[in-house]
């Protein structure tokens, strides 16, 4: 029976399971896990006993002759190890090799060679024990407040990307997809759940029970999960027969109904679009206390409570976030779980599709809550373009080592939002029908397997014109290299236009990238084009085209907007005539076009490609007809936030006060979309920032600035280490609304030093938090961040040098005066041993250029603000 099962499994998975990418630290390819039997006992959870015992039996195929079995193990105390040949039960003698202290590998050396032809399949059984950790890694514990606020313990998991090895010994790489049979022994009163439905429950002595789950489909170790808790649940059945459940700490079950309905609707939409079934009998969504965001565990998806527990009076912003998050994790059940990337180099195949479908499914089911086009622009296109100007990794990252901190850096805006934008660009370029057919073919051909990007490209069969790139060329042009182009548009005589492309650089650099070019889908709007080229390309710029002259459908008086619907992942720069026409017609254009134009103008101005006077003129036009979409883009920290910091102009601040006030008038009712709710939230933030005393004296309103009380150090610590992005954002808002002369920077420094001293965050995660802090308000948080980093020795930052370099790169581009520049240079000199040789001269060039620009241009811009009477716009319109 064992031999028959071997060949059945090998024939079905061998060709796709063996990893095709080699990298430092990877497991060797001479053994292959086929199936896990995992047994865990955690019976002391309610008695403050957080230890657990386990044994794992792994059936392993011998792919090539070897005398070693190598897998992962971190923190598990091994009691015994047994190796047996599957076909006859012969025990194989072995020894455990010593590993380096930092190694995460478990090396078992056999006393004889394991032969592929003779041994075929062996069984490795390991008995071990461990303790539930407090960090959100591996098999860990958390808690919620029960009746009378009594702490109630919860045992749960978080294994992505490489933390299953902390819970049990395993082959912890995404290239290995195997089945799992899981048994959990727990207190009889606890709810016990895992990936698959319950097969049997056996009652044991002392009120314990053994819950045995059905065998899972083939899946990676990072998707394995289990839960032990006193939770309540609600259930329903989807139209396709999948049992949908919402599990949460004891609540009024009415607060779980919205997420239950959303989960059911979104799954049905996904199955209908893809033509694929889930592959599971049930799909539970569980609310984990202090979880942070969400994790797509197959069949038992984990969320922070805010995404699943919603009262009947929940804010529309919270409902929208719930729909987006549930949609994202539901999409992962097919994209990532059913069909998974062969290595973390291809993480975008999973996260990109989940990002794309979160909005596609959400907008289809809740169109009044989530307008598709506008939501994509604000939620993904804007942040992805901003991130890709700084971050230097392509979507496909090869080679990529097995170092977990390095892998974790890929869970970023590029991998999520840029990938989602590229998929949307491909969809619009080849058409919805061809895109859907390709996606369905991709999932069908690779169901229960692992994939590389080439497998995705080969799934599309599209008949293209001779002057159009193939689908593979489209993908590769944007996936295999970092960055994106600026398309320069120059209007010639009549309807002829010259197009040029070059890579966008966010600041002056020592070496311009003049070689990178892309296949660029050119869409456009004119008064004469009747909308026919707004979504599908009128033509393509090829990678060989640095310059191209094309005749468009327009006359000399038409306004011309290129990439009007934000389909293409690029920015557009116009000549003076083009920009003047756009400013004159800005208020007549749809809000999605206004948002794209205002974003391009601000970003190009910061790069020195256009003047900020253009941005100020566009702001004055937007002031006459405010809309949440362009308003949100304009008020971004990188756009108006940057300009407001460098101008330090009371007149400009008075204009902004009126500009912010427009959002209160526009979004004054409760029946708001996600974008209107976001605009109101951002408006409150700006309202608090803009000199409370000035607002009180100059603008009568029932809305008052938030009270900004001093924040205790421990609260700052707790918020900074929280896995929940929203908790940190609320902290940033509290810190930002305080007067700059307060003692908050010192409180922030105290908190950061406590975090570092107590090792509450790894250096890589701490640097990621500092990135978020600076991005939220560079003017306020840059100085304390630089001061804090100056206390960290190079050897501490060295293991995560890439993340440290990315943080420094962000800091360099936010320096605005010589004193800051001197402090940053000192910081870089101190860490020169872990930075590239050219980093310091490049950074110095950028800072010198920025400071020079400030000295020359800021006085001129202040004069422009004064002469244009921007500060009096709202007074002239009758605002009091």
Residue whose tokens read 């608090």: 688
Residue 535 corresponds to which tokens in the numbers above? 């979504």
Bond prior to 691 in cis (omega within 30° of 0):
no
Secondary structure class of 433 (helix, strand, coil) = helix
Active site residue 329: yes
Which of 95, 228, 106 minimizes the C-alpha distance to 156? 228
Q: How far is 308 from 326, CA to CA, in rounded Å?
A: 8
Q: How far is 340 from 343, CA to CA, in rounded Å?
A: 9
The answer to whether residues 300 and 282 touch, using CB atoms and an 8 Å cutoff, is no
DSSP, res 850: H
Q: How many CB atoms lie within 10 A of CB 507?
A: 18
Annotated binding residue at 328? yes
Task: Write a three-state SS string for 102-140.
Answer: CCCEEEEEEEEEECCCCCCEEEEEEEEEEECECCCCEEE
Residue whose tokens read 């197959």: 298
∠549-555-558 over CA atoms, to 5°? 100
| Extended beta strands in 608-688, E state | none
Catalytic residue of the set 214, 305, 329, 662: 329
The HSE-up count of residue 274 (CA atoms within 13 Å, CB side) is: 29
Question: For the chain, what percentages of helix, strand and coil (3-state, to nearest 5) are there?
Answer: 45, 20, 35
Q: How far is 599 from 73, CA to CA, in rounded Å?
A: 48
Q: How many CB atoms lie within 10 A of CB 198?
A: 14
Q: How far is 231 from 226, CA to CA, in rounded Å?
A: 13
- Burial, 438: exposed, middle or buried (Cβ in 10 Å; 0-12, 13-18, 19+)? buried
The answer to whether residues 340 and 220 touch, using CB atoms and an 8 Å cutoff, is yes
Q: What is the bridge-based pairing of β-strands 243-248 and 226-229? A: unpaired
Q: What is the bridge-based pairing of β-strands 571-574 and 77-85? A: unpaired
Going by the annotation, the residues of the binding site are: 328, 332, 351
Going by the annotation, the residues of the binding site for Zn(2+) are: 328, 332, 351
Catalytic positions, please? 329
């Amino acid at each position: 029976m064992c031999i028959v099962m071997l060949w059945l499994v090998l024939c079905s998975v061998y060709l796709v399971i063996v990893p095709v990418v080699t990298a430092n630290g990877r497991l060797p390819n001479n053994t292959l896990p086929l199936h896990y039997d995992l047994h865990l006992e955690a019976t002391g959870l309610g008695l403050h006993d957080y230890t657990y015992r386990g044994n794992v039996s792994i059936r392993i195929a011998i792919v090539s002759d070897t005398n070693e079995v190598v897998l992962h193990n971190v923190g598990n105390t091994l009691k015994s190890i047994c190796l047996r040949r599957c076909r006859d039960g012969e025990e194989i003698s072995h020894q455990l090799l010593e590993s380096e202290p930092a190694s995460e590998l478990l090396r078992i050396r056999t006393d004889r060679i394991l032969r592929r032809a003779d041994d075929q399949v062996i069984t490795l059984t390991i008995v071990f024990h461990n303790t539930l950790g407090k960090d959100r890694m591996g098999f860990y514990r958390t808690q919620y407040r029960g009746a009378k606020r009594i702490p109630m313990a919860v045992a749960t998991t978080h294994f992505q990307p490489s933390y299953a090895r902390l819970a049990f010994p395993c082959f912890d790489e995404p290239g290995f997809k195997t089945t799992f049979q899981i048994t959990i022994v727990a207190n009889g009163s606890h709810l016990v759940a895992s990936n698959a439905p319950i097969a049997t429950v056996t009652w044991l002595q002392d009120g314990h029970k053994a819950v045995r789950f059905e065998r899972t489909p083939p899946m990676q170790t990072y998707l394995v999960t289990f839960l032990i808790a006193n939770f309540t649940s609600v259930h329903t059945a989807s139209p396709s027969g999948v049992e949908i459940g919402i599990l949460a700490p004891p609540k009024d079950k009415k607060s779980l109904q919205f997420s239950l309905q959303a989960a059911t609707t979104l799954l049905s939409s996904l199955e209908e679009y893809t033509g694929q079934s889930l592959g599971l009998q049930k799909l539970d969504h569980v609310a984990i206390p202090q979880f942070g965001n969400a994790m797509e565990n197959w069949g038992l998806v984990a969320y922070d409570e805010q995404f699943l527990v919603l009262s009947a009076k929940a804010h529309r912003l919270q409902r929208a976030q719930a729909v987006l998050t549930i949609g994202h994790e539901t999409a992962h059940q097919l994209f990532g779980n059913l069909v998974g990337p062969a290595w973390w180099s291809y993480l975008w195949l999973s996260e990109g599709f989940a990002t794309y479908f979160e909005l596609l499914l959400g907008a289809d089911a809740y169109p009044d809550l989530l307008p598709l086009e506008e939501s994509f622009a604000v939620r993904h296109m804007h942040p992805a373009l901003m991130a890709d100007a700084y971050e230097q990794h392509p979507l496909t990252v090869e080679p990529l080592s097995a170092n977990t901190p390095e892998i974790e850096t890929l869970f970023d805006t590029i991998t999520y939002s840029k990938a989602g934008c590229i998929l949307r660009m491909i969809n619009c370029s080849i058409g919805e029908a061809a895109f859907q057919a390709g996606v369905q073919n991709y999932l069908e051909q690779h169901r229960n397997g692992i994939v590389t990007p080439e497998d995705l490209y080969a799934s599309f069969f599209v008949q293209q014109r001779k002057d159009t790139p193939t689908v593979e060329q489209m993908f590769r042009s944007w996936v295999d290299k970092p960055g994106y182009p600026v398309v320069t548009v120059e209007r010639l005589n009549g309807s002829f236009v010259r197009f040029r492309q070059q890579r966008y650089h966010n600041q002056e650099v020592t070496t311009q990238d003049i070689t990178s070019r892309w296949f660029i889908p050119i869409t456009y709007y004119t008064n004469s084009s009747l909308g026919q080229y707004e979504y599908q390309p009128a033509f393509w710029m090829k990678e060989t085209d640095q310059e191209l002259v094309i005749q468009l459908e327009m006359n000399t008086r038409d306004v011309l907007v290129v990439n009007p619907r934000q389909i293409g992942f690029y920015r557009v720069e116009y000549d003076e005539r083009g920009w003047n026409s756009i400013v004159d017609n800005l208020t007549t254009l749809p809000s999605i076009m206004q948002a794209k134009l205002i974003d391009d103008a601000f970003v190009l101005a910061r790069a020195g490609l256009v003047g900020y006077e253009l941005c100020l003129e566009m702001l004055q036009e937007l002031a006459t007809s405010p809309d949440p979409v362009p308003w949100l883009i304009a008020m971004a920290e990188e756009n108006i936030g940057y300009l407001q910091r460098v101008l330090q102009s009371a007149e400009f601040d008075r204009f902004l006060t009126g500009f912010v006030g427009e959002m209160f008038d526009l979004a004054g009712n409760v029946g708001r979309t996600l974008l209107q709710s976001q605009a109101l939230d951002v408006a409150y933030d700006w309202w608090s920032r803009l000199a409370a005393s000035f607002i009180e004296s100059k603008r009568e309103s029932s809305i008052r600035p938030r009270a900004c009380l001093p924040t205790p150090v421990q609260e700052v610590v707790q918020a900074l280490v929280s896995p929940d992005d929203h908790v940190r954002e609320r902290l940033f808002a509290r810190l930002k609304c305080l007067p700059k002369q307060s003692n908050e920077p010192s409180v922030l420094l105290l908190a950061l030093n406590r975090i570092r001293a107590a090792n509450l965050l790894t250096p890589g995660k701490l640097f990621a938090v500092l990135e978020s802090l600076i991005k939220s308000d560079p003017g306020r948080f840059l100085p304390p961040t630089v001061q804090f980093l100056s206390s960290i020795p190079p050897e501490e930052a060295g293991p995560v040098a890439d993340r440290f370099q990315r943080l420094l790169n962000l800091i360099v581009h936010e320096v605005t005066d010589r004193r800051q520049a001197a402090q940053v240079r000192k910081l870089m000199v101190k860490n020169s041993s872990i930075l590239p040789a050219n980093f310091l001269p490049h950074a110095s060039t950028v800072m010198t250029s920025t400071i020079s620009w400030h000295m020359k241009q800021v006085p001129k811009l202040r004069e422009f603000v004064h002469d244009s009477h921007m500060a009096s716009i709202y007074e002239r319109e009758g605002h009091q």
